[in-house]
Structure 1
Amino acid sequence: MTELHDLTVLVVGAGRGLGRGIATAFARSGADVIALARDGASLAALADTHPAVRTHVADASDAATARRVLGEYRPDAVIVVAGATPVMRGLTQHSWETFSVNWDADVKIAFTWAREALLQPLAPGSRVIIISSGAALNGSPLSGGYAGSKATQRFIAQYAHMESERAGMSVTFTTVMPRMTPAGDVGLAGIRAYAHQAGLTEDAFIEQLEPVITPELAGQAMIDLMTLDTADSAAGYLLTGAGLAPLT
């Protein structure tokens, strides 16, 4: 495990799934970890396992929370994992309210933290990593506006990076797009829906995804990305069970 004792890492959406795996990996590496999520019980369980982790129960989409937390901790890295579980159904079975769930959550969260990181601004050399989804590249016809919202998260990171460069801030914005995985509510919802559509059991569908992304693998991938020189960092990465692959 890479030792990161001088690093302060804020994980937004650390209560479950990949976010919890990322927070755990950085805590084990010796980094100073701030874990933010809406679910207080899940954060308490994380802190029981890793007492040095500092927790914040808050709505990740709230700009005042983002402003306050960034100003208080001045993190070296902000990793944004939070988002909503999409409603899984065909297009004609959606209402606009169900179709737009991830626009109102995921896009707003990415916009909020990217904007506040620029307005602070974070210290030169800081990084903001937005966890999007492989659906941003391939689509996801049973999850309403989910794929489009995740593609927009990628654009937000790109726009923020351009503003950082123009202003000479030296704050790096990167997008990571994980492939579908059973290691979280979003992936499980997708697996159930697409397995049913294909006439497969969930286990059989998951076998098609192997090697699958685990929370531990996601955590190590973020550590690998954080220890990579910014000059060698890509604007976006696909994350699979084999690890990170830069997007061109």
Structure 2
Amino acid sequence: MNEMSGTSTLVVGASRGLGRGIAIAFRAAGADVVAVARRAAPLAELAAAHRGIGIEVADAVEEDTASRLIDRYRPQVLVLVAGAAPVMGDLHHLTWETFSANWHSDVRIAFAWLRAALAAPLAPGSRIVLFSSGAALNGSPLSGGYAGAKATQWFIAQYSQQLSDTDGLKISITTVMPRMTPHGEVGRAGIRAYAQAGGRSEDEFTRDLGPLITPQIAGAAMVDLVRSDPATLEPAYLLTGSGCSPLR
């Protein structure tokens, strides 16, 4: 897909952070973008600041949201960035409810939206990008079940790609794993917790992360990824401040 003009694009989790940057980048590339999020005010601000971005106030976790919006917009590009900020703390200070929070949000979002995309199904050639996390690769001992939830999102994407291939749907499903960044609620929470645990300032910890992912970098990287030839895609990519690199 080398030309984005008129490409129907849904960005789920677009009201802030990386999701907002991705919605803006796709619109700038000519796509017909609908931004989805739970909070009306930041979505309205996004639409007012960037002409041509449509908005849908909806909870991505709710059971019927995925099928309803996929049926309404029939996206050629679906980017799933939504998720919950984990409850930070050592394992013995968490309850089961706080430990499992991301299983009930992030994993459920991946399951619901990929299931709906396959069941619809999306048109041949459609592209789905699912945001997981670098924590799926490296673990995250201060964020409870977050790392496991993000790894399970990756598994769901792989299973969905296998089904697309088996059924001849020609839907490409790619997992993106961003490194920790202060330009998002989850990253800020992680930086705060790990800096405190190491007896360091947040600024010191952040400097050691290297080149940081910004909303603009994430947006440009996702447009490039979706424009690329599906035959050249890897199943998963690590996203850093330097862009995307394939995981093999």
TM-score (norm 1): 0.98
Q: Secondary structure at the match of 2:64?
A: helix
* Distance across 2 between alignment mates of 1:70 and 1:125: 15
Q: Secondary structure at the match of 2:88?
A: coil
Is residue 177–residue 237 contact of structure 1 (8 Å, CA) maintained in 2? yes
Is residue 27–residue 33 contact of structure 1 (8 Å, CA) maintained in 2? yes
Q: Look up the match of 2:23.
A: 23
- Is 1:112 the equivalent of 2:108? no
* Distance across 2 between alignment mates of 1:226 and 1:127: 7
* Distance across 1 between alignment mates of 2:51 and 2:41: 14
Q: Look up the match of 2:159.
A: 159
Q: What's the offset of the Cα at 1:3? A: 6.0
Structure 2: gaps spanning 5 or more residues: none
Is residue 63–residue 116 contact of structure 1 (8 Å, CA) maintained in 2? no
Deviations 1:73-118 (A, max 9, x none): 1111100000000000000000000000000000000100000000
Letter in 1 for 2:203: D
Larger deviation, residues 103-112 vs 59-68: 59-68
* Distance across 1 between alignment mates of 2:237 and 2:200: 30
* Distance across 2 between alignment mates of 1:231 and 1:3: 17
Deviations 1:37-94 (A, max 9, x none): 0011110010011121110000101231211111111111100000000000000000
Aligned residues: 247
% identical aligned pairs: 57
Q: Secondary structure at the match of 2:208?
A: helix
Is residue 63–residue 113 contact of structure 1 (8 Å, CA) maintained in 2? no
Q: Look up the match of 2:236.
A: 236
Letter in 2 for 1:9: T
* Distance across 1 between alignment mates of 2:193 and 2:175: 26
* Distance across 2 between alignment mates of 1:231 and 1:25: 23
Q: Look up the match of 2:85.
A: 85
Q: What's the offset of the Cα at 1:14? A: 0.3
Larger deviation, residues 65-74 vs 132-141: 65-74
* Distance across 1 between alignment mates of 2:78 and 2:216: 18
Structure 1 residue ranges (4+ consecutive) displaced by more than 2 angstroms after TM superposition: none
* Distance across 1 between alignment mates of 2:33 and 2:237: 23
Q: Look up the match of 1:222.
A: 222
Is residue 3–residue 227 contact of structure 2 (8 Å, CA) maintained in 1? no
Q: Look up the match of 2:94.
A: 94
Q: What's the offset of the Cα at 1:199? A: 1.0
Letter in 2 for 1:184: G
Q: Look up the match of 1:194.
A: 194
TM-score (norm 2): 0.98
Q: Look up the match of 2:130.
A: 130
* Distance across 2 between alignment mates of 1:62 and 1:228: 32
RMSD of equivalent CA atoms: 0.9
